[in-house]
Amino acid sequence: MDLFEYQGKEFFAGYGMPVSAGEIAFTVAEAVAAAERLGTPVMVKAQVHTGGRGKAGGVKFAADTDAVREHAGNILGLDVKGHIVRRVWIEKVSDIAEEYYAGFTLDRSAKKHLGMLSVEGGVEIEAVAETNPDAIAKIWIDPIEGLSEATCRDWVAAANLPEPAVEGAVEVLLKLYRAYSEGDADLVEINPLILTLEGSVHVLDAKVTLDGNSEFRHPDYSQYDATQSRDEREEAAHAKGLQYVGLDGSVGVIANGAGLAMSTADVVNQVGGAPANFLDIGGGANADVMAGALEVINNDPAVKAIFINIFGGITRGEEIADGILEAMERVEIDSPIVIRLDGTNADEGRAILEPHLTDRLMMQPTMLDAARRVVELAS
């Protein structure tokens, strides 16, 4: 779950990090009222789940309420990389002496948490990594051991933060790691983390991605789920509890398991096609789940053919076959379907499907054969 900047700052504040006073606004009138309460000057900042707001004109300084009215009017409704701005964050202006970057994420190859810290803040960390990689100090943290103060101080020293920023940076970084680990986050970033003219270290921006699977440990995370940016297809799939990501191709993909779904999308690309989605139905290939998946894909007008790629594990092949057939009775399908069924009791499952095969419902023995056939049909 990606958080808006203001949500990220509220999340950070819950772990004791210093953030600027601000208010969220959905209309120009609300933005002006917020600025009057906060006191000008303020920043008017677009809230979208993407970067590049500043370049798109979505971050503006407002010296007075007239400027707030003008900027809020221009920013609300603005298109930032395909994301329409529906809310703005009105924030008290900070006096900046220096800007830094700090972030934590998971390094899957090292099986450890990765911390990154740089004196070159305020720009995309990818650009820093490309132009001046030595400017990024990295540490790898064993999740069992965590981040100690001593390690954090060594890290700050390696990043060459100036002396006035050291104590404040250590304090913020320890709290940032706690937010990352205890908050079940996939990513936390502060860019920029600033040193103010008064000599304090302060959080000026927040980028947070939370693990949606941890919601059972954090009941309040439902508020973040409610503000996720989804297109109509993704919203419909989410309502049915399906793991779905919309793409731009013409081959609808249904698979059981995230790895198999990604492999299915890859093999469709490999044989010259383009997947219209990533859809993982998990271990439950029963009629209800399959019907929901087919309904979501069938409602996508870009889909010209559907690839159902199932490998039976705990769910047996005959149960999968019965689920597919029952689902097809519930949903009127516009596109031809190609099935690849393998794994536990696959022979039994294929035998159930065999009498129902037509030029609209086909079956292929391998994933590659099925991909070739479905791409041919989609073309």
Instruction: Give the catalytic positions in this structure.
Output: 101, 189
Q: Calculate Rg over the CA atoms of the chain.
A: 25
Please give the Cα distance from 199 to 352 (Å, whole number): 73
CB atoms within 10 A of CB 166: 14
Q: Residue 47, Cα to own-chain centre: how many angstroms?
A: 15
Scanning the chain, the segments in alpha helix (DSSP H) are 5-13, 28-38, 65-75, 125-131, 149-158, 163-182, 222-225, 232-239, 258-270, 287-298, 317-330, 346-353, 367-378
Q: How many residues does the chain have?
A: 379
CA 331 to chain centre: 30
Question: What value, to the nearest 5°, has the Cα angle with vertex 169 and ends 164 and 172?
Answer: 145
Q: Which amino acid is at 179?
A: A
> What would the DSSP string read from start to end of 205-257?
--EEEE-GGGGGG-GGGHHHHTT----HHHHHHHHTT-EEEE-SSSEEEEESS
Provide the 10 A C-beta neighbour count for residue 61. Answer: 11
Whether 273 contacts 251, CB under 8 Å:
yes
| Amino acid letter, 196 | T
Q: Is 19 helix (H, G, I), strand (E, B) or coil?
A: strand
| Closest-CA residue to 166 (of 153, 179, 184, 183) | 153
Q: Which residue has the tokens 């203001």?
A: 6
CA 123 to chain centre: 20
| Residue 151 exposure: Cα atoms within 13 Å on the Cβ side | 13
CA-based nearest residue to 193, from 108, 96, 85, 289: 96
